[in-house]
Each structure stands twice: as C-alpha cells, then as structure tokens.
Amino acid sequence: MTLPLVSILDDEPEIRAMLVKALEEAGFRTISFSRATEFEAALQTATPDVCLVDLSLPDRDGLTLVHRLALEQGAVVIIISGR
C-alpha cells in the first residue's frame, strides 16, 4: 500500500519543516515548496492526496491558487496561514 502524499506550500522554512516532520512521523509522504511556481511545476508529475497551501506567498496569490487547484484539478486543499 502506498502512503498518502501531502504537498506543502509555505514560504516560511520553519513552518515547512514543522509540517514535514509532523506528517512524516504520522506516516505520510511529503513534498514541500517555498514558491508557487515550484509547486505548480511539481503538480505536472506528482498527484498529492492533499495540498496544504499558505495564503501569503511571495510569487502568487494563495487564494487564487487554491481556487484553481480545487476547480480545475479537483484537489483536496487545506489552507494554512500565519495571519
């Protein structure tokens, strides 16, 4: 059985590291990104089971990205934010 894959998009390294550690300890596979452009490029070859997306990104509006993921790809998205 393949472990579920969680994709993490957050520009803060500490947040990414904390999420990766917690999820991997819980038995999930993870891939993480600091920029939306990297994240979107990876989605061409990877199909995460869940995407954790920060709303405050340096290179893209997180909410627009979330809408696109949900509408165009039917992705399961959880919004994360430090605000």
Q: What is the pLDDT of residue 4?
A: 94
- Residues 29-43 as b/e (b if ≥16 CB within 10 A, e otherwise) read ebbbbbebeebeeeb
CATH number at residue 44: 3.40.50.2300
| pLDDT at site 23 | 98
CA separation, residue 38 to residues 2, 3, 22, 26, 83 (Å): 24, 23, 22, 25, 23
pLDDT of residue 74: 80
Domain that holds residue 43: 5-80
How far, in Å, CA of 31 to CA of 64, rounded?
21
Cα four-point dihedral sign 72, 20, 44, 3: negative
pLDDT at 70: 85
What distance lies between CA 36 and its chain's CA centroid? 9
- Give residues with Cβ within 8 angstroms of 61, minimum separation 6: none
pLDDT tens series, the chain, 83 aa: 789 999 999 999 999 999 999 999 999 999 999 999 999 999 999 899 999 999 999 998 889 999 888 887 788 999 998 76
* Confidence (pLDDT) at 40: 93
pLDDT for position 19 = 98
Q: What pLDDT does residue 37 have?
A: 95
Number of domains within the chain: 1
